[in-house]
């Protein structure tokens, strides 16, 4: 196995009992990275056979609440489960430091309580924030992670990422419409994970706030066009908007297959997709 992708959470901002919030685990060689940290991420990490203290980094695509709302749980769980101090690197776009500073302030009472109660827990959470620009973000142990600008305006800046290892490549796009940065990352990728929207269904809901989501997410057709244009091997549909009805997966896949000639995977929580080694 070269790179494994586990969809920890495929939900959108509206609570869904069957879908956790936006989060994706990527295992590449000996490294393990968490992309985004939405609702219930730690529960899904455990279900995927991982724990926060096993992570080599948390990497954020953007700072929308549904992609970061359980970052505090990741930080706290990593801290209390480690038997000795261990730094948790957090990568994200400009603004990430301010978010982590606010998170640290929020957690301060709990940190004080736990340190007072546990004599062997004599350090605070060790966090190392890297505000990331397009380019190489990580190059370590045979794994290279490259960031490029995505387009989720008015949310900006936002980033998509390409993970390369052992001759294989996976792209975690996050929330974005088609753009040059996404095309650059997706070129020749084995797996492309894209949050998607069905504009035909969203337009049926007479709520302006809901219809506003159309202009800053890729539709299923647009994701398929990006995948086809880039020569991607597998397109993975995640973070579906609106939340899919039971039994609707084939319909979503069929829409993508009208455009994209490769494999299409409809994401459910804990779906696994592998970019196999040569």
CATH number, span 3-275: 3.60.15.10
Domain boundaries, the chain: 3-275
Going by C-alpha positions, the residue among 215, 189, 191 that lies closest to residue 203 is 215
247: region left, alpha or beta (phi > 0 left; psi from -120 to 50 alpha): left
How buried is 240 (Cβ within 10 angstroms: 0-12 exposed, 13-18 middle, 19+ buried)?
buried
Contacts (Cβ under 8 Å, ≥6 apart) of 39: 9, 11, 15, 20, 21, 66, 69, 70
Going by C-alpha positions, the residue among 124, 96, 90, 126 that lies closest to residue 110 is 124
Give the whole-angstrom CA distance, residue 97 versus residue 226.
31
Query: Is 66 tagged catalytic?
Result: yes
**Which member of 36, 56, 66, 151 is catalytic?**
66
Q: What are phi and psi of 106, to 5 degrees?
A: -65, -40
- 3-state DSSP: the chain helix, strand, coil percent, rounded to 5? 30, 30, 40
From first to last of its 278 residues, the chain has per-residue pLDDT tens of 589 999 999 999 999 999 999 999 999 999 999 999 999 999 999 999 999 999 999 999 999 999 999 999 999 999 999 999 999 999 999 999 999 999 999 999 999 999 999 999 999 999 999 999 999 999 999 999 999 999 999 999 999 999 999 999 999 999 999 999 999 999 999 999 999 999 999 899 999 998 888 899 999 999 999 999 999 999 999 999 999 999 999 999 999 999 999 999 999 999 999 998 44
Q: Which residue has the tokens 């804990």?
A: 270
């Amino acid at each position: 196995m070269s790179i494994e992708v586990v969809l920890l959470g495929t939900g959108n901002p509206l609570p869904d009992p069957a879908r956790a919030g936006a989060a994706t685990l990527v295992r590449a060689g000996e490294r393990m990275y968490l992309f985004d940290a939405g609702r219930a991420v730690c529960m899904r990490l455990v279900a995927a056979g991982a724990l926060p203290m096993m992570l080599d980094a948390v990497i954020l695509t953007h700072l929308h609440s549904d992609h970061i709302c359980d970052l505090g749980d990741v930080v706290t769980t990593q801290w209390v489960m480690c038997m000795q101090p261990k730094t948790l690197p957090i990568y994200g776009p400009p603004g990430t430091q301010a978010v982590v500073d606010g998170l640290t302030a929020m957690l301060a009472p709990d940190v004080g309580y736990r340190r007072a109660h546990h004599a062997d827990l004599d350090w605070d959470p060790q966090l190392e924030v890297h505000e990331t620009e397009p380019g190489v973000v990580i190059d370590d142990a045979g794994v290279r992670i490259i960031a490029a600008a995505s387009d989720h305006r008015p949310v900006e800046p936002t980033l998509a990422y390409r993970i390369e290892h052992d001759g294989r490549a996976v792209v975690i796009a996050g929330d974005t419409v088609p753009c040059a940065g996404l095309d650059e990352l997706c070129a020749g990728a084995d797996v492309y994970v894209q949050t998607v929207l069905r504009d035909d269904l969203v337009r049926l809901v007479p709520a302006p706030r809901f219809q506003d989501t159309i202009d800053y997410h890729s539709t299923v057709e647009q994701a398929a066009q990006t995948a086809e244009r880039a020569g991607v091997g597998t397109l993975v549909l995640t973070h579906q908007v609106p939340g899919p009805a039971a039994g609707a997966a084939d319909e979503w896949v069929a829409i993508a297959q009208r455009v994209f000639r490769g494999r299409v995977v409809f994401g459910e929580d804990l779906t696994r997709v592998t970019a196999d080694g040569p």
